[in-house]
Amino acid sequence: MSETTTSTELDNGLPLDMIIFGGMGDLAMRKLLPALYSAFQHGTLPGSTRILSTGRQDYTRDTYLAHIEEHVRGFISKDNFDARSWDGFLQLLVYVKLDVQAAPDFSALAKAARADAQRVFYLSTAPSLFTTICDKLAATGLVDEHARVVLEKPLGTDLESAIAINEDVGRHFAESQIYRIDHYLGKETVQNLMVLRFGNSILEPLWRAPNISSVQISVAEEVGVGSRAGFYDGAGAMRDMVQNHLLQLLCIVAMEPPTSLNADAVRDEKLKVLRSLRRFKLADIARDTVRGQYVRGVSGNQAVPGYLEEKNVPQDSSTETFVALRAFVDTWRWSKVPFYLRTGKRMQRRSSRIVIEFANPPFPLFHQQGGAVANRLVIELQPEEAIKLQLMAKQPGSGMEMQQVALNLDLQSAFQQRRAEAYERLLIDVVRGRLTHFMRRDELEAAWEWADPIIDGWQQLGEKPHPYAAGTWGPSEAFALLARDGFSWFE
């Protein structure tokens, strides 16, 4: 879906300064710098690029580069590492000591940045700092018509805080300069959904009710909260995952064909889906949502603690680490089709997938032991990326017994060229000014308008999250949620 370009240089002829706030943080070490290294190694960064990392540590250039060697190299695969390109990448890096609360530090940043550069500000910090950073950038004269700002999630904790962030950032940056990043939208298979849906005449006529009986979107994490407990306990799975990642996946599955691949044309259709999501009333929340919290169990053949035993988690915390819910998109295309969303930490294994379950034939000509098995289109997002179409076929022999078989499209073997990671792809989109895979302000606020009543309803109901053992697929109530409609989670 992204535009292609034959040149690595910017269209406006300016050099590029990528400025990372929170440049010494976990995200920068694990994702951003490895992604930028890969882009540099494969020639997709402009040749005039510099990467400025800010932090409060009192580093010299040598101590900064030593820190990068220690904390970034480990997140670059051996197959993707080249000593010569790594040395060249290190030459792009500049460290700027900066406390976001200190105005003089921004003057030092202005001196380190090039006056004639296109500046991309990546705000890998707590959202509470976004306003302060943008105000000081503008006061120091670093924001101009070429500047772009990338906002890392979470963008607020509810609709009110999201609006406040959007207003504050919007005072200094036009909407066309703001890139609200969701790394799920950078995944190859997610972007391939558009082509799968709208580029194949076989699927498009079937992509609607009553041909589709249900949709599952499941994002399971094997890890616990780890070092993110301080943040996570104030957010929970609904804010951290459902409101952004899962809703964005739902939008791509449910959207109507855009008039073009223009960024706003695509995002207009996603916005329509968000506005068509049926709002939950208190009775709906009690019936159609499940909250869970992991307790001690076994994960990866090792005993692991429960959520309340994690460091920095309050002993009486009622924060959910698991959410499952049944949603409906009230449009002609999706009338009465349930969308089942599920996400959780400390689940049996890391897995993200979308499952499109088609309706059974109207007349059961062939009898199947145990009942009919529906055709399914399974879109695997991680850990592997693949598309599988599950069909029924005749078993070998003299009878007419059926057996489920799968047509598999392994994207990694089907395409021999290198597949960029999500952050690399999205960072290059920012550099090139491609907004398609970034959330627009009205999208963000529409997502919060849908999510807020659910979070508020849980507080009104006052129920504790259902416990589930680490290393399982979540609480039993999540299975009952589908079973009463005659469905089951695809594992």
Catalytically active residues, by annotation: 245
Q: Which helix (H) or strand (E) holds 294?
A: strand 289-295
The three-class DSSP label of residue 297 is: strand
Query: Other CB atoms closer than 10 Å to residue 57's CB: what's the count?
Result: 10
| Cα of 91 vs its chain's centroid, Å | 31
Q: What is the CA radius of gyration of the chain?
A: 24
Return d(Cα 153, Cα 347) in angstroms, integer.
23
As to burial, measured by CB atoms within 10 angstroms (0-12 exposed, 13-18 middle, 19+ buried), residue 331 is middle
Return d(Cα 286, Cα 291) in angstroms, integer.
10
Question: In terms of Cα–Cα distance, which of 374, 376, 380 is closest to 390?
Answer: 376
DSSP secondary structure string for all residues of 144-210: -TT-EEEEPSP--SSHHHHHHHHHHHHTTS-GGGEEE--GGGGSHHHHHHHHHHHS-TTTGGGSSTT
The three-class DSSP label of residue 478 is: helix
462 near 287, Cβ under 8 Å?
no
342 near 216, Cβ under 8 Å?
yes
Residues 6+ apart with CB under 8 A from 114: 15, 17, 50
